[in-house]
Amino acid sequence: MALSTESIVNDIERAGLDKHGYLFGQKLTHSLSPFLHQVIYDDLNLRWSQLRLDSADLQLFLNLLQHPSCYGASVTMPNKVAIIPHLDEMTDECRDVGACNTVFFRERDGQRILCGTNTDVIGIRDSFFYNVKDPAHTYHNRPALVIGGGGAARSAIYALRKWMNVKEIYLVNRDASEVEAVIRDCTSRGYGKDLLHIATVEQAKSVDGPGAIVACVPDFTPQTSDEKLARQITEVLLEKKHKGAMLEMCYNPTPFTALGMLAEKKGWNVILGTEALIWQGLEQDTYWTGNTIDGLPAEKVKAAIAASVAQRSQSKL
């Protein structure tokens, strides 16, 4: 049955919430986003909730945002780029990355306007900031590595270049054309300096080892020759003498990935993808609630997410 604005609004009004938001995207069943935000709202004694809107229907979404008790939304695939032409304002992060994962409202001339930001970049940055004790030794003034070629890879490059004081950024991916597109996009937006595609094992052996790694690929066993080559290149870089920190962005269905376990065995500090989820989610609620990060229950959120992940892992045994 097709979703309609009227039926969704009726369901919201029956729920008796003071405010509501949305998680707008597709394949949302396993997303921890509504759970994460509910932990925050319950702690703040807010009768708020984030509702799943499993859809790519932009007009439906824009209609729903007009409800006076809607505070905004998390935006996920496939809508992160499609929403941009409909925004009245964008933060620098949203504009520079070219993707929006958070919509919120501001007042302009007495009117409520639709704004967009990208907190994925904050999630990546803060995953390192809160989990690496000595960044100067770990990744400052060293090369970094981004594995993957999609939107998360662009966010990773932005965070590494803007906040993390790294030198060149290596790119490893199964598809060379995707890497070319990433370099082209990042360069056009002003943060594409010193991006280097590591395309062969020999090239990987010849370069200095990275200090920070962001892995932005699904947790699957390499099947094709290109996938196997990308994994071989990654392994060569993991085996370098310097051992830094790797953020494994994948956390579905579990944050304990094969690549993460491989890096850990080779001596790397592996940061789970749930960390990026937590810090980007907390940043979202600074826009929606008006609280600072310090005013939000970060430790309670971390404990709740850890318990949820453990429960999921247990149920798969």
Catalytic residues: 80
Cα–Cα nearest to 87, from 77, 95, 97: 95
Amino acid at 151: G
Nearest 10 degrees: CA dihedral of 231, 163, 183, 280? 70
Burial string for 215-233 (b: 16+ CB within 10 Å, else e) reads: bbbebeebeeeebebbbeb
**Rounded-to-integer distance, Cα 252 and Cα 314, Å:** 14
Phi, psi angle pair for 251, to nearest 5°: -135, 5
Q: What is the C-alpha R_g of the chain?
A: 20
**Rounded-to-integer distance, Cα 134 and Cα 315, Å:** 36
Write the CB contacts of 126 (distance below 8 Å, at least 6 apart in sequence): 275, 279, 283
**Rounded-to-integer distance, Cα 243 and Cα 241, Å:** 6
